[in-house]
Amino acid sequence: MAKSLHLTAFMRPVSLHTGAWRYPGAYADANFNFQHLKSFAQKLEAAKFDAFFMADHLAVLNMSVEALKRSHTVTSFEPFTLLSALAGVTEKIGLAATASTTYDEPYHIARRFASLDHISGGRAAWNIVTTSNPDAARNFGHDEHAEHGERYKRAREFYDVVTGLWDSFADDAFIRDQESGIFFDPEKMHVLNHKGDELSVRGPLNIARPVQGWPVIVQAGQSEPGRQLAAETAEVVFCAPRDIAGAKTLYADIKGRMAAAGRDRDHLKILPAAFIVLGETVEEAKAKRAQLDSLVHYDSAIASLSIALGHDASGFDPDGPLPETPETNASKSGRAQLLKLAEEEKLTVRQLAQRYGGYSGLAFVGTPKTVADEMEAWLAQEAADGFTVVFPFLPQGLDDVTQKLVPELQGRGLFRRDYEGATLREHFGLPRPANRFFS
């Protein structure tokens, strides 16, 4: 096939949608039940997804008690343990773990990803995050959260150290000659001896070079330093444009920065997050989403809406249209998006609040054909190299995508019918990095 899509699944065990655990048929216990996660990963592998991508947080999310008690985000599996367990029960699908450069040590991170890559036969990916949740700081001995620029400075150096540790051994260092008794060639071991502004790490790593050379590098930052870090280092970008116009701008910007950094633009895949709701008809898909949104509790929803509008919405008539409110210093583009949404879909205050409180990002809602049309357009117009799929509810939303949308995409030659390689790099068509210390 010529140009085709890459698809990863962005997973929280229950879904990212706030109301999903209440949807009919949902696994409300998915945050405690590995068997559900195993079934999700195996279904995604059967559908030939590039990767299973585990979202993560380093704290219970900061929200009001009223919202928190309704939120399934309060408990979840930890990514390394979950993805390693999934490595044991899958064979081909990539396994992407979120890991923070702000609250962990490069030696641990390098070692865990290398180990996951060896265990899975070359299927690991590292989603580099700098952790923007200030509550995380207090779980790691800090009163104050490091500011944005400082976090990105450490992240850049952290990346250099981790990739340097992965290169501790040449690929052919381990001779394992039982006759002579030589296990490895010490000339092919490099001691990093890194001493930088933020980090001091001696090395070598106590694990052989990963199967993929380096696990695939993923990043989500859309800020100025985030884009630059991605252009210099990332191989997959997970982003959240609101529409195709915004996506095209972001795509061109990051690929342009890559060229400036001397990198081949095909060596980074841009995969916007897309919330996908499918129905037999567009109306049925919209009705499913409306039903899902209706499961978001009004008290939590209206609190989120008030913050987004920069105006207390709790006194509004829930069943009336959104009243005029004065513009404030609250996020202007977010507010404009809300007003547009309320007008276009003729949503009541309640519906708007529940939509916003449920999942506020890019959504493709329609039939397998209409959603495939949208995906095809994004690919053709260089708005995306594929998508980071967000399921509205599980297992049904995942089954809809794997059983209905994927065959539609395969029929159009837009998605693989089988894995062609064994490693995640091969699924993405990414080169295996050279070892910086050994040629």
Among 47, 207, 285, 305, binds a copy of itself (CB under 8 A): 207
Beta 200-201 vs 194-195: how paired, if at all?
antiparallel
Instruction: Check whether 56 is labelled as a binding-site residue.
Output: yes
CB 433, CB 164: distance < 8 Å: no
- Secondary structure element (H or E) that encloses residue 80, with its range: helix 79-87
Among 5, 6, 11, 21, binds a copy of itself (CB under 8 A): 21
Nearer to a copy of itself by Cβ, of 165 and 247: the residue is 165
Q: Is 129 in the site for a copy of itself (CB under 8 A)?
A: no
Nearer to a copy of itself by Cβ, of 119 and 240: the residue is 119
CA distances to 291, 328, 394, 438 from 333, in Å:
27, 11, 31, 49
Instruction: Check whether 148 is labelled as a binding-site residue.
Output: yes
Neighbours of 138 (CB within 10 A): 13
Q: Is 160 in the site for a copy of itself (CB under 8 A)?
A: no
Q: Quick one: residue 205, left, alpha or beta (phi over 0 = left, psi -120 to 50 = alpha)?
A: beta
Among 62, 75, 223, 249, binds a copy of itself (CB under 8 A): 75
Q: Is 261 in the site for a copy of itself (CB under 8 A)?
A: no
**Separation CA 416–CA 431 (nearest Å):** 19
> Scanning residues 26 to 65, which ones bind a copy of itself (CB under 8 A)?
26, 28-29, 31-32, 34, 38, 57-60, 65
3-state SS, 208-236, equals: CCCCCCCCEEEECCCCHHHHHHHHHHCCE
Site string for a copy of itself, 172-191 (x = CB under 8 A): --x-x-x--xxxxxx--x--
Number of residues that bind a copy of itself (CB under 8 A): 77
Q: Is 88 in the site for a copy of itself (CB under 8 A)?
A: yes
Centroid of chain to Cα 175:
38
Minimum gap (Å) between residue 7 Cβ and a copy of itself: 23
Among 86, 218, 274, 405, binds a copy of itself (CB under 8 A): 86
> Scanning residues 298 to 337, which ones bind a copy of itself (CB under 8 A)?
none
Among 68, 287, 290, 307, binds a copy of itself (CB under 8 A): 68
CB 427, CB 51: distance < 8 Å: yes
Among 3, 91, 132, 140, binds a copy of itself (CB under 8 A): 140
Instruction: Check whether 71 is labelled as a binding-site residue.
Output: no
Q: Is the dihedral of CA 56, 57, 63, 67 positive or negative?
A: positive
Smallest CA-to-CA distance from 404 within 429, 367, 436 is with 367
Residues ≥6 apart with Cβ < 8 Å to 407: 368
Instruction: Check whether 75 is labelled as a binding-site residue.
Output: no
| Contact stretch for a copy of itself (CB under 8 A) within 204-212, 220-228, 302-310, 418-426 | 204-212
Minimum gap (Å) between residue 185 Cβ and a copy of itself: 7
Q: Is 81 in the site for a copy of itself (CB under 8 A)?
A: yes
Minimum gap (Å) between residue 58 Cβ and a copy of itself: 7
Q: Is 387 exposed, middle or buried (0-12, 13-18, 19+ CB in 10 A)?
A: buried
Q: Is 70 in the site for a copy of itself (CB under 8 A)?
A: yes
Q: Is 104 in the site for a copy of itself (CB under 8 A)?
A: yes
Residue 433: DSSP 8-state? P
Neighbours of 368 (CB within 10 A): 22
Among 7, 16, 44, 87, binds a copy of itself (CB under 8 A): 87
Residues annotated in a binding site for FMN: 56, 98, 148, 152, 223
